[in-house]
Each structure stands twice: as C-alpha cells, then as structure tokens.
Amino acid sequence: MSQATTIRVPRWIQLVVLPVLLLVAFLLARPLGHVLFLFLTSAVIAFTLNPLVRDLTRLRLPRGAAVAVVSVVFATAFIALLVAVGTVVVSEARSAGDRVDAYFSQDSAATERRAPRPLSTGSSGGSTTTGSSASSSSSSSTT
C-alpha cells in the first residue's frame, strides 16, 4: 500500500511569510487593479462559454471554429444588450431634458405674467432717474 505524503509547513512560515506575502499581494493589487479586473473578467467569460464550445466540438465541429462561432454569438448578444440599454438611457435623458426645459420655461412664463412693480418715487418730485445716472449728470454740469 502506498502512503500519502503530507506536506508540513513549519510554524514560522505560517506566522511570518504568509502575512508578508498577503501584504505584498495587497500592495501589488492596488496599482495592478485594472489589469487584474480584466483578467478576472476574461476568465469568467471563458469559463462561462467553455461548455458551449465543448458541446459544439461534440457535434464534430473543430475547436477553433467552435470558439469562433461562440465568440461571434457572444459579441453579437453583448452588442445587442448595449444597444437596448443605450436606447433606454438616451430616451430617458431626453425626457429628463424636456422636463427640465419645461420647468424653466414655465417658470419664466410665470414671471413674465406678473404685473410689473411700479418704480419708486424719490423725494425729488417724481424723478425716476437712478442714483448713478443722476450723479454722472450732475458732475458733468459742474465742469
């Protein structure tokens, strides 16, 4: 009978090296986060589509052709999903823009319908000139 060999990891490796490796992995994961995200996403897509490729190879289709067919179908479905979602987003954005435009045009129409306020009469016997124009006319007459 064959005996199964067990791997014994010394205690100092468990207490020192593993936490240091986790820290280094965390520090490297921050700058490489986008790359890791792309690789993980592509791995998930590949594992998801592999059963379809395997089924097509059982139908005597070469693996390269099966991968091409599944990739084209997946890309077409993904683009159709993006177009459908994009159509909804564009129509909702236009609707929101129209509502905002209607709100502001309704608000400006309401302010135009209000009666204009009468100008305040000063102590100079009904003169409606403002202070800045009165001062400029008085300074020009003195020179």
Cβ–Cβ contacts within 10 Å for residue 66, how many? 19
Cβ–Cβ contacts within 10 Å for residue 5, how many? 6
Return the higher-pLDDT residue of 134 and 21: 21
Is 4 part of a structural domain of the chain?
no
Confidence of residue 82 (pLDDT cuts 50, 70, 90): very high
Report helix angle 33-58 to 63-113, nearest 10: 130
**How much is the CA Rg of the chain, to the nearest whole Å?**
38
Q: Express as a percent the part of the chain with pLDDT over 90.
A: 41
The mean pLDDT of 113-136, rounded to a whole number, is 56
Is 75 part of a structural domain of the chain?
yes
Confidence of residue 109 (pLDDT cuts 50, 70, 90): low
Region of residue 7 (left: phi > 0; alpha: psi -120 to 50; beta: else): beta
Confidence of residue 122 (pLDDT cuts 50, 70, 90): low
Is 140 part of a structural domain of the chain?
no
Name the domain count of the chain: 1
Check whether 77 has a pLDDT greater than 70.
yes
Check whether 129 has a pLDDT greater than 60.
no
The mean pLDDT of 96-115, rounded to a whole number, is 77
Is 118 part of a structural domain of the chain?
no
Q: What sign does the CA torsion over 124, 126, 130, 132 have? A: negative
Is 122 part of a structural domain of the chain?
no
Check whether 85 has a pLDDT greater than 80.
yes
Is 47 part of a structural domain of the chain?
yes
Residue-range definition of the domain harbouring residue 65: 11-111
Look over the chain and give the mean of its residue pLDDT values, rounded to a whole number.
81
Return the higher-pLDDT residue of 88 and 142: 88
Identify which of 9-13, 46-50, 107-111 has the greatest average pLDDT: 46-50
Is 123 part of a structural domain of the chain?
no
Confidence of residue 142 (pLDDT cuts 50, 70, 90): low
Is 128 part of a structural domain of the chain?
no
